[in-house]
Amino acid sequence: MTCHSHFKSLAIAAAVALPLSGLSIYSPALAQQTVKIGSVLSVTGPASFLGEPEDKTLRMYVDKINAVGGVAGKKIELVIYDDGGDANKARTFATRLIEDDKVAAMVGGSTTGTTMAMIPVFEEAQVPFISLAGAIEVVDPVRKFIFKTPHTDKMACEKIFENLKQRNFTKVAMISGTDGFGASMRAQCVKVAPTYGVQIVAEETYGPRDSDMTAQLTKIKGVAGVQAVVNPGFGQGPAIVTRNYAQLGMSATPLYQSHGVASKSFIELAGPAAEGVRLPAAALLVGDKLPDGDPQKKVVVDYKQTFEATAKQPVSTFGGHAYDGLYIMVEAMKRANSTDAKKVRDEIEKTKGFVGTGGIVTMSPTDHLGLDLSAFRMLEVKGGDWTLLPPGT
């Protein structure tokens, strides 16, 4: 054994140990007058279209809240980590928020995958977690510390089928994406269809990166008696479906899209083919077209203006979910006049008549979402823009 060999083994041990212990240097000391709200979002990666506006919204509004004195006498300190859409990474960051940053509450989780991975961490630590993910399994079954703000895919199906029923349509065809959103919504639609007397007479699927759906649509076209076509999916898939649909001359049969395409880029991608397409969406998309008496009008117009002025990009419903989550959390803290996790949780559950961008939220011990079907508005694309469908059409 020489002196140098000691050095080598030490160097190797240090190489492993140092970075780990060094992590603690970066966690700032816990100050008394601040409350930490944590967030894990998919700011980069394939789900960045969700995480990016959520990230901007949270930073924007936390600054606003702090400018007027914070919450319950404390300033909010926001801790945001980017999981890149990776559920395993999200799980690690969730542990870090709880164990290392010691956050009082969490608003985040851009996708259903990352949210489901993080739920056990917050349940175990008993820290309230308001998720921004879509699927219904986040709040069904109800877990004590887990809440969410976005509408569920089940509600979207119900809203579409409600509209079909009003038009006396009973036979529909479905073409759905095989990604997480499409697969989950497809399953929910199949489940609730009988309640609305709707019969699914044909079903096709497409991959999330497919660039042509003509074959599937031709098959649907060949099925006799189809009165409407429903397309659960998000991303660029539905825009391609819409284009192919028009190219095949199927436009006489109404086409329903989901809330997953509720952004201006859908109309841009689909072009004139989008005319007449109907979909359920949050009020945020048609804020300026809402009648003046609408209770959500002020909130959505304010949010749209604030977001667009600060972020210099068009508003999306996803950022709106983060706005809703943050304010439900902050108002619960105000009512509890405390940042104690258990008291805040109880107050979140008592949220009543909260007017958000997604709808009017009234939670209960059996409902950790708190939205009903009125949270969705039925829209139709007309003249290259969204228009609000009057009720009963």
Partner 1 sequence: MLAALRHRYGILLVLAVIIAALPLVFPSSYYFRVASLVWVSAFAAIGLNILMGKAGQVSLGHAGFFGIGAYAVAIGPTHLGVPPLAAMLLGCALSALLAFLVGRPILRLKGHYLAIATLGFGVLVALVITTESRWTGGPDGMSVMKLTLFGWRASGSDTWYWITGGLLLAGTWIALNLDETPTGRAFRALHDSEIAARVTGINVNRFKLQAFVIAAVYASLAGSALALMNGFVNPDQAGFLHSIEMVTMVVLGGLGSVVGSIVGAAVLIMLPQLLTVFQEYENLMLGAIIIVSMIFMRDGIVPVLSKFMTGWRA
Give the binding range for partner 1 (CB under 8 A) out of 67-75, 78-86, 214-222, 307-315.
78-86
- With contact defined as beta carbons under 8 Å apart, do 84 and 44 qualify? yes
Strand (E) or helix (H) holding 86? none
Q: Residues 6 or more apart from 352 whose CB is under 8 A from it?
A: 362, 363
- 9 counts as binding partner 1 under rule CB under 8 A: yes
With CB under 8 A as the rule, give the number of residues binding partner 1.
50
Q: Which residues sit opposite 40 in a β-bridge?
A: 81
Q: Residue ranges of the alpha helices (H) in the chain?
A: 3-22, 48-67, 87-96, 112-125, 153-166, 180-192, 214-221, 237-247, 264-270, 297-311, 317-336, 341-349
Burial class (CB in 10 A: 0-12, 13-18, 19+), 372: middle
Q: Which residue in 54, 77, 82, 349 binds partner 1 (CB under 8 A)?
A: 82
Least CB distance to partner 1 at residue 252 (A): 32
First to last CA, the chain: 87
- 317 counts as binding partner 1 under rule CB under 8 A: no
Give the binding range for partner 1 (CB under 8 A) out of 4-12, 156-164, 290-298, 378-386.
4-12
Q: Which residue in 112, 236, 317, 339 binds partner 1 (CB under 8 A)?
A: 112
- 13 counts as binding partner 1 under rule CB under 8 A: yes
- 81 counts as binding partner 1 under rule CB under 8 A: yes
Query: Encoding tokens for residue 358?
Result: 């997604």
Kindly list the distances between the CA atom of residue 389 and the CA atoms of 185, 279, 286, 378, in Å, as whole numbers in the listed order.
23, 10, 11, 6
- With contact defined as beta carbons under 8 Å apart, do 32 and 75 qualify? no
Residue among 24, 56, 55, 57 nearest 39 (CA)? 55
- 77 counts as binding partner 1 under rule CB under 8 A: no
Residue among 235, 223, 240, 232 nearest 256 (CA)? 232
Least CB distance to partner 1 at residue 275 (A): 31
Q: Which residue in 36, 89, 159, 304 binds partner 1 (CB under 8 A)?
A: 89
Using CA atoms, how far apart are residues 151 and 158, in angstroms rounded to an integer? Answer: 11
Least CB distance to partner 1 at residue 200 (A): 17
Strands 385-388 and 377-382: antiparallel
Complex with partner 1: residue 258 or 338, whichever CB lies closer: 258
Complex with partner 1: residue 4 or 224, whichever CB lies closer: 4
Judged by CB under 8 A, the chain residues 122 through 181 that form the site for partner 1 are 135, 137, 178-180
Complex with partner 1: residue 72 or 183, whichever CB lies closer: 183
Least CB distance to partner 1 at residue 272 (A): 32
Complex with partner 1: residue 80 or 300, whichever CB lies closer: 80
CB atoms within 10 A of CB 360: 18
- 96 counts as binding partner 1 under rule CB under 8 A: yes
Q: Which residue in 95, 253, 306, 310 binds partner 1 (CB under 8 A)?
A: 95
Give the binding range for partner 1 (CB under 8 A) out of 83-91, 140-148, 224-232, 320-328.
83-91
Q: Which residue in 47, 76, 78, 98 binds partner 1 (CB under 8 A)?
A: 98
Least CB distance to partner 1 at residue 231 (A): 17
Judged by CB under 8 A, the chain residues 195 through 234 that form the site for partner 1 are none
- 113 counts as binding partner 1 under rule CB under 8 A: yes
Least CB distance to partner 1 at residue 106 (A): 15
The pair phi, psi for residue 387, each rounded to 5°, is: -130, 150
Complex with partner 1: residue 184 or 351, whichever CB lies closer: 184
Q: Residues 6 or more apart from 45 whose CB is under 8 A from it?
A: 51, 83, 84, 85, 86
Spell 259-282 as b/e; 16+ CB within 10 A means b: bbbbbeebbebbeebbbebbbbbb
Complex with partner 1: residue 82 or 324, whichever CB lies closer: 82
Q: Which residue in 58, 117, 136, 175 binds partner 1 (CB under 8 A)?
A: 117
DSSP single-letter state for residue 73: T
- 66 counts as binding partner 1 under rule CB under 8 A: no
Contacts with partner 1 by CB under 8 A lie at 1-2, 4-9, 11-13, 15-17, 19-24, 26, 43-44, 81-82, 84, 86-89, 91-92, 95-96, 98-100, 112-113, 116-117, 120, 135, 137, 178-180, 183-184, 187
